[in-house]
Amino acid sequence: MLDNAYNAALRQPAGSKQIECLINSEGGEAIVEIADQGCGIEESLRDRIFERGVTSSDSGDHGIGLWLVRSYVEQAGGNIVVDDNIPFGTIFTLYIPLTRDEHHG
């Protein structure tokens, strides 16, 4: 996810190239927020970004990372929220339970 944020920031001609990663715990969850001020996610890809093989990159070695992240987070009983980072970019927020239950690894 950090690699995606870095690449998105490089593609944005205006604004900051800054990437933020915040880690916190609240209400029994670890909360990981990764925000960039890059090019954002194309509307045509927004509903599909967590599918295996979906990428906005022109090179062939992409399309697995977000799928894997979502798989691991959901396996732990968590979820991921994707928001726009105004005025540019994307924010990914991962909510991961700090304790395991019988239904999740």
Question: Which CATH number do you get for residue 79?
Answer: 3.30.565.10
The answer to whether residue 29 sits within a structural domain is yes
Helix/strand/coil for 43: helix
pLDDT at 22: 96
CA distance 56 to 47: 13
The answer to whether residue 105 sits within a structural domain is no
The answer to whether residue 17 sits within a structural domain is yes
| Residues spanned by the domain of 44 | 2-97
- What is the number of domains present in the chain? 1
- Amino acid letter, 19: I
The answer to whether residue 20 sits within a structural domain is yes
pLDDT at 103: 62
- At which residue do the structure tokens 């005025």 appear? 87
Residue 16: CA count within 13 A, CB half-sphere: 11
Helix/strand/coil for 8: helix
The answer to whether residue 39 sits within a structural domain is yes
pLDDT along the chain (105 residues), means of 10: 79 75 95 91 86 76 85 96 90 93 62
| Structure tokens given for 34 | 């990764």
